[in-house]
Structure 1
Amino acid sequence: MFDEIRARGGTITVICPFVVDYLSRRTANADLVDARHPGYSDRAAAESARVEAGG
């Protein structure tokens, strides 16, 4: 999935707690995170937002 995003010149906004956790442990994909709209930097913040949204 990340290779396809990179090949297309795309970026990601991280909102899923599991993706936040994955990316925090693997810096090889850090270049894919959108600098203007990065999303959440840690799993706790992503989980909190998910709960607040009712998900």
Structure 2
Amino acid sequence: MNRQPAIAFYGRREAERAYLPLTIDVLRVSGGAVTEIVTSHSDQFPRLGLPTRLPTAAE
């Protein structure tokens, strides 16, 4: 890993009762400010060890 901060985004799919992968944003920080954002698509979640679905809370 390159040790840069990253954020994984999931979108709620009501029909599947789960949150499914959307994108991963990797942030480049220089001088205390975000200077670049590199976006990867959902196909990278498994390679990075991220879950491919997150269950919604039981109702």
Normalised to the residue count of structure 1, the TM-score between the two structures is: 0.26
Is the strand fraction higher in 1 or 2?
Answer: 2
Is the helix fraction higher in 1 or 2?
Answer: 1
Normalised to the residue count of structure 2, the TM-score between the two structures is: 0.25
Higher relative contact order (CA 8 A, sep 6+): 1
* Structure whose alpha-carbon radius of gyration is higher: 2
